Amino acid sequence: MGMKPFLFAGTPAIHFGAGQLAKLVQVLPREAKRVLLVMGSFARTNAERWSKLEAELEAAGIALETARIHFEPTVEWVDEVVERYRQMAIDAVIAIGGGSVLDAGKAVSAMLPTEPGDTVLHYLEGQPDFRPHNGNKTFFVAVPTTSGTGSEMTKNAVIAIAGGFKRSIRHDRFIPDAAIVDPLLTISCPLSVKAASGMDALTQLIESYVSINASPFTDALALSGIEAAASSLLPLCTSPAAAEDPELHARLAYASMLSGITLAHAGLGLVHGFAAPLGGSFPIPHGVICGTLIAEATKRNIAALRDNVVSSEQAAIGLAKYAKVGAMLSGQAAMKADIDSSCDRLSAVLEEWTERLQLPRLGEYGVTAANIDPIIAASNNKQSPVTLGPDLMREILLARL
C-alpha cells in the first residue's frame, strides 16, 4: 500500500517558547488602534505579566477593551460581547486563557464582522437553522495558559447551547492568525487543572495517532507530542520538586500544541465522542472527561482489534500503533517487545496515570447508571480505529462511575 494522501490546512504563525508573550504587540496588525482582550483569571494569576502587557499596549498607542469569562462560552455570552463591541472598531481580538477562553475569543472574532442582531446560534453545526459562516473574522491571537486543548491550533470553537448541548462554529479561516505559546504562563495553573489538561492533550495525541484518518504527517507530529508528554506530565503533577520546572512545562505545552494540529487534521476517537454529551449534561471539565476515560476506552479498543472486528490489515495497523504508544509511555521505546505485550503495557500505564494523577470519577459530578443509556445514544466513535457498540460503551462508562 502506498503512502496515504492527506490535506494539511495550515497553522497560525506560531511563537513558541519561554517569554514569548513579550511579542504580543509585535504580532498585532501594524494599523491596530483598539484591541479586545478576552480572558479569565489571567490578570489575577499572572498579575505582573498583566501589568507589563497593559503598559506595552499603552506605549504602542493601542486602546484596550476587556471581556472576562469564567465558564465555557455560551450563545448568550458570545452574542452579548459581540453586540457590546461591534461598533467600537476592534482591530484584533486576543484571547489569553485556557481552552474555553480561547474558544470564546475565537467565536467573538468570527462574529464581530457579522450584521447587527445576528447570533452565533445560526452558525453552530447541527442546528436546525444552521447556515455556513463566510469565514470573515477579526484578526485573532490565541495565548494559551493551560496545556491541554490545543485550541490555539484549531479552526473551531465549541459553544454551549440551551438543553445541555455543545456545538462548534467552524471555518478554515478561523485558525488563529497568531498563537503565542509561552510555557511560563502555565506554571501558575492549579495542579488539578494541569493533570486534567495534560491528560486531555495526551488523549488527543493518542486518538489522532490511531485515527482511521491519520496520515504520515499527523503520525510524526503525534509521536513527537506523545514523547514530550511522556517525559513531562507525570513529574509535573506528582513531584513537588518538578512542579515549577520551566523545561517540563515547555514539553507539555509543546505536546498540547501538537495535539491541536493532529486532532484538526486526523480527527479524534470515542473518548471525545463521549465528551460532548457528558460535558453538556453534567458540570464535568472537558479534561477530566478525557483523562478519566482514556484508559478504559483504550483497553477495549485494543481488545476489539484483537478480536478482528475490523479487517486484518486495519487491526494490525491499530495494534502496532497502540504498541508504539505503550512503549513510549512506559519508557521502553528502545526495547523490541512484541506488540501484544506493548499493548498490554499501554493499558496498564494509562490506568496507573489515571490513579496517580487522581482523575475524578464521573460519579463525582452526578453521573449515575441511570444516565448512561442517554449518554451512549448521544455519543459516537468518531474516527476510532474500531467501532465499539453500546454494550462496550456502557462498560467504559460504568467502570468510571
Q: pLDDT at position 332, please?
A: 74
Q: Bridge partners of 14?
A: 179
User: Are both 181 and 222 inside the same structural domain?
Assistant: no
Q: Exposed, middle or buried, 115 (CB in 10 Å: 0-12/13-18/19+)?
A: exposed
Same domain, 243 and 313: yes
Report yes or no on 2 lying in a domain.
Answer: no
SS3 category, 94: strand
Q: What is the reported pLDDT for 336?
A: 58
- CB distance 135 to 245 below 8 Å: no
8 located within any domain: no
Cα distances from 301 to residues 10, 308, 389, in angstroms, run 30, 11, 11
Residues 146 and 288 in one domain: no
Question: What is the pTM (predicted TM-score) of this model?
Answer: 0.95
DSSP state of 68: E
Give me the number of domains the chain comprises: 2
Q: Are 29 and 98 within one domain? A: yes
Q: What letter would DSSP give residue 360? A: P
Is 4 a member of any domain? no
Q: At what angle do helices 191-210 and 312-329 cross, to 10 degrees?
A: 150
Cα 237 from Cα 175, distance rounded (Å): 30
Q: Identify residue 350 by its one-letter amino acid code.
A: L
Which letter, b or e, does each residue of 125-143 get, where b requires 16 or more Cβ atoms within 10 Å of its Cβ?
A: eeeeeeeebeeebbbbbbb
Low-confidence residues in the chain, pLDDT < 70 = 1-2, 333-337
Q: Same domain, yes or no, for 300 and 375?
A: yes
Place of cell 521505546: 333
Q: Count the helices and strands in the chain (H runs, E runs).
A: 15, 8
Is 7 within a domain?
Answer: no
- Residue 10 gets the label, from left (phi > 0), alpha (psi -120 to 50) or beta, of left
SS3 content of the chain, % helix, strand, coil (to 5): 55, 10, 35
Do 266 and 310 share a domain, yes or no?
yes
For residue 68, is it within any domain?
Answer: yes
pLDDT at residue 369 in the model: 97
Domain's final residue, options 185, 204, 233: 185
277 and 395 inside one domain = yes
Assigned domain for 19 exists? yes
Q: Helix 339-356 and helix 312-329: axis angle, to 10°?
A: 50
Give me the CATH number covering residue 343. Answer: 1.20.1090.10
In this structure, are 138 and 71 located in the same domain? yes
Q: Are residues 157 and 288 in the same domain?
A: no
* Structural domain ending residue among the three candidates 146, 167, 185: 185
- 346 lies in which domain range? 191-399
- Dump the DSSP string for 299-318: HHHHHHHHTTSS-HHHHHHH
CA dist 226 and 373 (Å) reads 33
* Cβ atoms 213, 165 nearer than 8 A: no
Return the amino acid letter for 61: G
3-class SS of residue 63: strand
181 in the same domain as 196: no
- Judging by beta carbons within 10 Å of its beta carbon (0-12, 13-18, 19+), is residue 117 exposed, middle or buried? exposed
The CATH code of the domain that includes 98 is: 3.40.50.1970
117 within 8 A of 157, measured Cβ to Cβ: no
Query: 260 and 178, same structural domain?
Result: no
Give me the pLDDT at residue 127, please.
Answer: 86
Same domain flag for 42 and 139: yes
